[in-house]
Amino acid sequence: MEGYQVPVCRALTVYPTIAGIPREAFIILVSLTFLFLVIYRAFFTLPIFIILYLVLRKVCKKDPLIIKIILKCYLKQRKYFYPE
């Protein structure tokens, strides 16, 4: 059917990100940054976290779900209650 278009809200088609990276990755990055900078006072790690943020932003620009896929595939919990 040509000529028919339905307007769709952009929020329904775009994966939500915070500062250009997925929420899960952003929360992990901010938590680690807080841990090292405030609690351990390791200020030399700040450039590492900035570089890590920029790398995550570059990777997630093409596919925002890549971090979520990696977290689900490689950091799975074992099935203690349901043996295979």
pLDDT in tens, 19-35: 999 888 899 999 999 99
Predicted pLDDT of residue 34: 93
Domain boundaries, the chain: 10-74
Quickly state the pLDDT bin for 15 (edges 50, 70, 90). confident
pLDDT in tens, 56-73: 999 998 888 888 888 777
- pTM assigned to the model: 0.72
SS3 22: strand
Residue scoring higher pLDDT (80 or 15): 15
The gap between the terminal CA atoms of the chain, to the nearest Å, is 48
CA distances from 53 to 2, 11, 28 (A): 43, 24, 11
